[in-house]
Amino acid sequence: MTRPVTVAFIGLNAMVFVFTHDIALIGGASLQQNSLVRWATYGFPVAELGEWWRLGTGAFLHADIRHLLLNMIMFFLLGRRLERQTGPAVFVAICLTSMMWGSAGALLSAPNTAVVGASGIVYGVMASVLVVERLSGLDPWSEGLGTLIVVNVILSFVIPGISVGGHLGGLCGGLLCGWAAGDRRQTQELRAWIFLSILAFLGCLLGVMAASTWLNPLL
């Protein structure tokens, strides 16, 4: 069965890619410089210019076609699984919250580096699936999900040019979101929305605070 939010998210990312890349350079680093400067997640403009929207817009930019395809394939495989478990509305909340936590992690680890990509969301969804299915009486490890998480975390430290902070921030946010969503065999919508709202606010607050470290990075 098609999952509307999962499909819409992938479609939105594809559309943004078309409008922010030089198609003639599609095989390489094709992201337009003005798109990177205006929309990437970056400490100075968030902290000093009040461009708080960068906590979200950077997640919809990708460095090249390979970056986009890797993130969207992972999101499709994991997103439809989580959307089936939680329903579309809670799934959207988990994605947005993971995005905030991923941006916060990226800014905390490297506030003076322009960061792009939906990896924070992907890692958040990955972690949320693990927790939600575990709380709902399923065994995600039996289908290799746990192994997938471990391998991806290791790759975050091995492959150069990756925002380790962004990945780990999204992962932490996703773990908390999975706990907030809770056991999907029970009706806990009010509880889920209260805790997801708190987590989204905390992620945004952490992102703004992390951006303010651009002059004196903590790490």
Asked if pLDDT for residue 42 goes beyond 90, the answer is yes
102, 169 Cβ separation under 8 angstroms: yes
Helix (H, G, I), strand (E, B) or coil at 213: coil
Q: How far apart are CA 19 and CA 198, in angstroms?
A: 34
180, 199 Cβ separation under 8 angstroms: yes
Show the domains of the chain with their CATH numbers: 4-211 (1.20.1540.10)
Cβ burial, residue 136 (10 Å; 0-12/13-18/19+): middle
The identity of residue 178, as a single letter, is G
pTM score of the predicted model:
0.92
Supply 14's token pair.
Answer: 């594809």
Per the DSSP assignment, residues forming a β-bridge with 31 are: 21
pLDDT 10s digits, 50-82: 999 999 999 999 998 989 999 999 999 899 999
pLDDT 10s digits, 155-211: 888 887 889 999 999 999 999 999 999 887 776 788 889 999 999 999 999 999 999
Asked if pLDDT for residue 25 goes beyond 80, the answer is no
Fill in the DSSP letter of residue 64: S
